[in-house]
Chains A and B, each alone.
Chain A
């Protein structure tokens, strides 16, 4: 809270752009940990407490969290221009790299070697996703109440192949209602 009332350090638009470019290029399979490190420890644009506060909003809303974070930080230090430049910096480098890879894929993707290599990487990617889901499942609070929702979503999406928007809206209504009730019983204990 106190950090917010303090005058923010002067950060130029160029610094925002290059800072977020650095963040965007620093990690594989997600860059959130690198964003925290850069913003809080390297550049010291934000105190840890403020970072958590802003990240809370970005993670609460749907959409790519790191992009949302770039908008928030960009706006704070550079207004509308900053809110445009920070996410642009975040994405420009990685998008350029991934498009170069796409060109390679167009040219050589049909080769048997490329096909086998990509199948192997996809298998690794699938394994990493399972690990991520497992870690997230362990972190779920009030498991007896909420793990059934995880199972229901899996059945609806992976097995029955129902459309995700409908499943998510119904899920938020039901799971949110359960959460609302639980929070009533032990107000403040849910977090």
Chain B
């Protein structure tokens, strides 16, 4: 019960700074569940991210998996709810009032100012996932290859995931 409550408060608080969605939160999720609470080790964290990537659905599912790892089914549901509920309530209440502040100078200033921060967070998350997966030189080479390939071509990301799985199994990465 105590763990569930902690899980809920930690994730609900994080949802208020989740500019850029759950993906931008990855570094902080790592800090909270691996470094602060020791709920899992770094490798498990990387594995959970990998599983979320290989499954269909919104990006928030990595949070569901983290909750599962911490406290089973109840943990999965509590973590997902904590991440989604607070802003759902806010967005429900703001519905129909968006016109009133959309385009205001402060609103545009926040929008313009938040974007570069979110990009920094996603760069951090990318670094962290690679680090916690325990990649060697070949692994980081593959990360670079995927990054370039995905930037330059329009292939579905699942091809990269499949290639990663195959290279992992073959012991290359």
How close is B31's CB to chain A, nearest CB, in angstroms?
Answer: 7
Q: CB distance A123 to B139 under 8 Å?
A: yes
Please tell me which stretch of A6-14, A40-48, A163-171 contacts chain B, meaning at least 4 of its Cβ atoms lie within 8 angstroms of it: A163-171
Q: CB distance B17 to A129 under 8 Å?
A: no
Chain A, residues 118-140, CB within 8 Å of chain B (1/0): the string is: 11111111111111111111011
Q: A122-B47, A165-B17 are in contact. Are A154 and B124 (CB under 8 A)?
A: yes
Residues of chain A within 8 A (CB-CB) of B80 are: 91, 95
B9 within 8 A of A: no
Q: CB distance B146 to A183 under 8 Å?
A: no
Chain B interface category by residue count? 35 or more
Q: CB distance B111 to A60 under 8 Å?
A: yes
Chain A, residues 152-188, CB within 8 Å of chain B (1/0): the string is: 1110011001011100110110111111101110010
Q: CB distance A179 to B46 under 8 Å?
A: no
A16 within 8 A of B: no
Q: How many residues of A contact B (CB 8 A)?
A: 100
A-B contact pairs, 14 of them (CB 8 A): A28-B157, A28-B161, A64-B21, A66-B60, A102-B68, A136-B122, A137-B119, A158-B124, A168-B17, A171-B113, A172-B110, A179-B108, A183-B105, A184-B105
Known: A117-B165, A118-B168, A180-B106. 19 other contacts (CB 8 A): A24-B58, A61-B91, A68-B87, A95-B76, A102-B68, A102-B69, A116-B169, A121-B53, A122-B164, A125-B164, A130-B147, A134-B147, A141-B112, A165-B13, A165-B17, A168-B117, A171-B113, A175-B117, A180-B105
